[in-house]
Amino acid sequence: MTISIRSAKPGDEETVLGFIKSLAAYEKLSDEVVATTDLVAKTLFGPSPKAFALIAERDNAPVGFALYFFNYSTFLGRHGLYLEDLFVPEDQRGFGVGKALLSRLAQIAVEHNCGRMEWSVLDWNAPAIAFYKSIGAQSMEGWTINRLTGGALKALAGEAKL
């Protein structure tokens, strides 16, 4: 069975959102998903998208997805590709779907002259960590991800208006 990778397109909103919800369930974060098909359509397929998605298919059926965007490295003076989400349902793992998605992302990064490709992984996700190491990825020890959301984000935005 051949795995094909294609860019998500209008009409794929439900598929993308379904993968997002499945990923959130796997990560025990379902209560944090507020995305809707309308939001996915607007942000991925609107007039000026800032994020992009790939869909992996086998036998014309979706079997995984990756969502990414471009960032910028001041140290490298070049853009980078940031993988926000990668998900392959458990019954589809072990067939090369994840590797095919990552390979296509690496091709996109090279096509766009990116200096690097990065992503985060939950520290308890041993299978994913082992998989990423097997393809040559290196953990960024000593770095901590910081995040502002909800009230804290709005409060800081209010402070910036002073």
What do you get for the CA distance between the two ends of the chain, in Å? 59
CB neighbour class for 158 (10 Å; exposed up to 12, middle 13-18, buried from 19): exposed
The active-site residue out of 68, 72, 82, 132 is 132
- Rounded Cα distance between 101 and 86, Å, is 8
Polymer length of the chain: 162
- This prediction's pTM: 0.91
Is 68 annotated in the active site? no
Spell out the domains of the chain, with CATH numbers in brackets. Answer: 3-160 (3.40.630.30)
Each residue's pLDDT expressed in tens, for the chain with a length of 162 residues = 699 999 999 999 999 999 999 999 999 999 999 999 999 999 999 999 999 999 999 999 999 999 999 999 999 999 999 999 999 999 999 999 999 999 999 999 999 999 999 999 999 999 999 999 999 999 998 888 898 988 999 899 987 654
